[in-house]
Amino acid sequence: MPISCLLCYQGPAYIPFRQTGVKASLVSIRDEMTHGQYRKMISNAFSLSSLKAYEPCIDEMVNRFMEVCDEHARTAKTLNLSLWCHYYCYDVVSMLTLGKPLGFMSGDGQDAYSLIEHVKAFGRYITVTSQMPWLHKVFRENPIMRATKPSPFIRIVQARINERLDVEKKLVNRDAPRPDLLSHFIAAHRTQPLMTKENVVVTSSTNLVAGGLSPGSAVDCLCQFLAYHPEAQDKLYAELSQAQFSTPALFDDVKDLPYLEGVIREALRLHGSASLGLQRISGPGGLDLPGGIHLPANTMVACSGDAINKDPRIWGIDANVYDPKRWMKRQGEDPEAHEERRRQYGRVDLTFGHGSRGCIGKSIAMLEISKVVASLMRNFRFELIGEAKKGEVLVRVHRRKENA
């Protein structure tokens, strides 16, 4: 029996993900049928066929990152690579979602509207309340919590949506090209009763949070590895040079490069965004586990995606080691065995989840990460200063000679 039939709805761990005053969001809807209806309304915005339309938006942010690196190479100023990785990802997701960046990469860089700090605080809150959902009810019913004003970026999202709706009313051609996610959400709002204006705001703001946090952490992890391993930078540079693509890199030109893929997939596997155990509820027939264990109906079941992503029974005894070659064909391994091993990795890798609850923005995350890593590594070399730590990877930036 398919696992989706056995695990019929989400457990209470997802309730705290709901924003204050919001009745439903794609993340926090527990019922599978209702979740499917909401997901279907916006799925086209995240489809593979929509990716090409988003590339120019990402190119603008890649070019800005390149300018920052160029300036630091020219002036020999120290660059906090970790911080700028997050600035890049948050401006990309705001560009893709709202049609304009929030300004993280403006000037010397900044936490625009304190969004990064807000997301970190929300993450700390979720870490506790998702595992003890009764605490969320206590906090939610506290008068002080009820009086808390929404984050400033919510008001920015609302203003941008109102602005876009006003523009849409004046459009004669309702089938105009849809260059960003908000255009898709508004199109759904015009035709789907479920996609109310409130849900357009919720979907957009949720996308800003999720689409900045996880990719930013993954690119940060990736850059830490490359900063510690200059030989890996050189290996990646050699592969990228041979591919001979223009800058910013087009996704089609770099998506099949094996070492680049390994660098990215290892960062996604190890960065640990899915470390919490988020429960599902077993269905009326219960759930049979390997080893003859049977769980009765209405049992909460959870596992840590981070633990699965580092399980030595799957990934080998070096499961905790960042190794891009893990995803590549091994010496003496025939192509069929290599493909089967990759399929096994794909089946158990929980970075983006799986099934109906899998991350809807997975393809966009791969797009923005692949483009920026390929573009930066093709043009620059990063020299680590001191010891890298979370949120601070200080580097000297050097332009590659042939691109100087």
Angle at 255 between CA 251 and CA 261, to 5 degrees: 135
pLDDT (0 to 100) of residue 374: 96
Q: How confident is the model at residue 395, as a pLDDT?
A: 96
The DSSP call for residue 180 is S
Q: What are phi and psi of 323, to 5 degrees?
A: -140, 100
d(CA 381, CA 70): 11
pLDDT value, residue 279: 79
Residue range 30-35: mean pLDDT, rounded: 77
Are the beta carbons of 205 and 259 closer than 8 angstroms? no
Highest mean pLDDT among 67-76, 152-161, 196-205, 386-395: 67-76
In angstroms, the CA 246 to CA 176 distance is 29
Amino acid residing at 210: A
118-144: burial string, b at 16+ Cβ within 10 Å, e else = bbeebeeebeebbeeeeebeeeeeeee
Task: Give 27 or 83, the one with higher predicted confidence.
Answer: 83
CATH number, domain of 181, equals: 1.10.630.10
Per-residue confidence (pLDDT) for residue 162, from 0 to 100: 85
The pLDDT of residue 163: 85
Question: What is the total count of domains within the chain?
Answer: 1
**18 pLDDT higher than 60:** yes
pLDDT at residue 148 is higher than 60: no
Residues 6+ positions from 159 with CB-CB distance below 8 Å: none
How far is it, in rounded angstroms, from Cα 97 to Cα 207? 7
Which residue shows structure tokens 């761990």?
13
pLDDT over 90, % of the chain = 38
207 backbone dihedrals φ, ψ, rounded to 5°: -65, -35
Query: Using an 8 Å Cβ cutoff, are 115 and 121 in contact?
Result: no
Q: Is pLDDT of 45 > 70?
A: yes
pLDDT at 119 over 70: yes
Residue 372 has pLDDT above 90, yes or no: yes
What's the pLDDT at 360? 86
pLDDT value, residue 170: 64
Contacts of residues 76-79 at CB distance under 8 Å and 24 or more positions apart, as own/partner, are 76/396, 78/385, 78/394, 78/395, 78/396, 79/382, 79/394, 79/395, 79/396, 79/397
pLDDT of residue 161: 85
| Residue 110 reports pLDDT greater than 80 | yes
Residue 334 gets the label, from left (phi > 0), alpha (psi -120 to 50) or beta, of beta
The confidence band for 149, taking pLDDT boundaries of 50, 70 and 90, is low
- At residue 4 the predicted structure's pLDDT band, cuts being 50, 70 and 90, is very low
Mean pLDDT of 180-186: 88
Percentage with pLDDT > 70 across the chain: 88
282 or 373: which leads in pLDDT: 373
Res. 64: pLDDT tops 50: yes
| Model confidence at 307: pLDDT above 90 | no
Angle in degrees, 0-180, between the axes of helices 362-379 and 81-98, rounded to the nearest 10: 130
Which residues form the domain of 308? 3-403
In this predicted structure, the answer to whether residue 175 has a pLDDT above a threshold of 90 is no
How far is it, in rounded angstroms, from Cα 118 to Cα 392? Answer: 19
| Beta-carbon contacts of residue 53 (< 8 Å; ≥ 6 apart) | 177, 178, 179
What is the value of pTM for the model shown?
Answer: 0.88
pLDDT (mean) for 160-171: 76
The answer to which of 174-178, 292-296, 385-389 has the lowest mean pLDDT is 174-178
Query: By the 8 A CB rule, do 365 and 359 touch?
Result: yes
Helix or strand holding residue 190 (H, E): helix 181-191
Residue 74 neighbours by CB under 8 Å, 6+ apart = none
pLDDT reported for residue 2: 37
How confident is the model over 273-285, as a mean pLDDT? 76
| pLDDT given for residue 274 in this prediction | 62
- Res. 379: pLDDT tops 90: yes
Q: Mean pLDDT over all residues of the chain?
A: 84
Q: What six digits make up the tokens of 35?
A: 């979740």
Of these ranges, 2-11, 141-150, 244-253, the one predicted with the greatest mean pLDDT is: 244-253
Angle at 192 between CA 19 and CA 194, to 5 degrees: 35
Neighbours of 339 (CB within 10 A): 12
Q: Tell me what the mean pLDDT of segment 24-46 comes to.
A: 79
Could you give the 3-state DSSP secondary structure of residue 6? helix
15-29, 46-60, 65-79, 168-182 — which one is most confidently predicted on average? Answer: 65-79
Tokens 């609850």 appear where?
357
Among candidate residues 20, 268, 276, 307, the one with its CA nearest the CA of residue 141 = 20
- Which of 147-151, 203-207, 305-309, 393-397 has maximum average pLDDT? 393-397
